[in-house]
């Protein structure tokens, strides 16, 4: 597959954001492993925000799924889809879309690293009213929200253009 300069630039941006996401997530997890013990939460803001080391064998936010192989394959599939989006579909997309794809890549790969290395994902951010999560989960959620907003705006824009052309 031959990449244009624009595609290489988008790919470089997405990979850089992804690598920074992996670095931030893995460093924060190593810090959590060093300073926290499972079952001994540390209150930061009362019971509202705590650091609580857990090992999540399921999906993001504690959703349970059987089989590490299934989750690894899901991560690889997500990675391939996001790479396709970077190389083929983001030609005219704003920079934040490429950055969102990088966040998604970084979050997926970082949690995949944990899963392959430990058989579970290290989680430690506890809001008490939400399942315990990590930086990679934040990146994945931000990516999903940004991409959904972009698609909603693009769909509305496409709909407006169709209305305008049908009125002519």
pLDDT digits (tens, 9 = 90+) for 53-75: 999 887 655 555 566 666 667 76
Active site (catalytic) residues: 123, 137
Q: How far apart are CA 106 and CA 42, in angstroms?
A: 27
Closest of 134, 116, 72 to residue 80, by C-alpha: 72
Looking at residue 69, its pLDDT comes to 64
Q: Is residue 142 part of a domain?
A: yes
Our count of domains for the chain comes to 1
Q: Which two tokens stand for residue 110?
A: 């970082």
Q: What pLDDT, on a 0 to 100 scale, did the predictor assign at position 164?
A: 44
Which residues touch 116 (CB under 8 Å, ≥6 apart)? 72
Tokens representing residue 111 in the block? 């949690």
DSSP 8-state symbol, 6: H
Q: Give the pLDDT confidence score for residue 68 in this predicted structure.
A: 60
DSSP E strands, 29-87 = 42-45, 49-56
- C-beta separation of 15 from 105 below 8 A: yes
Domain extent for 50:
5-163
pLDDT string in tens for the chain (168-residue length): 566 777 678 788 889 999 999 999 999 999 999 999 999 999 999 989 999 999 988 765 555 556 666 666 776 777 677 667 666 655 667 888 889 989 998 998 999 899 889 988 999 999 989 889 999 999 999 998 998 888 788 766 666 555 443 333
Asked if the structure places residue 168 within a domain, the reply is no
Residues 2, 80: Cα–Cα separation, whole Å: 17
Express each pLDDT in 104-130 by its tens digit: 989 989 998 998 899 889 999 999 898
- The reply to whether the predicted model has a pTM over 0.75 is yes
């Amino acid at each position: 597959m031959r990449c244009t300069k624009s595609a290489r630039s988008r790919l470089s941006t997405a990979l850089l954001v992804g690598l920074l996401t992996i670095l931030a997530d893995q460093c924060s997890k190593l810090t959590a492993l060093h300073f926290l013990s499972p079952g001994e939460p540390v209150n930061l803001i009362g019971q509202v925000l705590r650091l609580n080391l857990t090992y999540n064998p399921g999906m993001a936010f504690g959703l349970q799924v059987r089989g590490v192989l299934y989750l690894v394959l899901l991560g690889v599939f997500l990675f391939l889809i996001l790479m396709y989006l970077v190389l083929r579909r983001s030609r005219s997309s704003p920079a934040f879309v490429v950055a969102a794809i990088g966040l998604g890549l970084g979050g997926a790969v970082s949690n995949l690293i944990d899963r392959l290395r430990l058989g579970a994902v290290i989680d430690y951010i506890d809001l008490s009213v939400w399942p315990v999560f990590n930086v990679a989960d934040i990146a994945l959620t931000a990516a999903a929200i940004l991409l959904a907003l972009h698609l909603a705006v693009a769909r509305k824009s496409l709909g407006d253009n169709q209305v305008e052309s049908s009125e002519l």
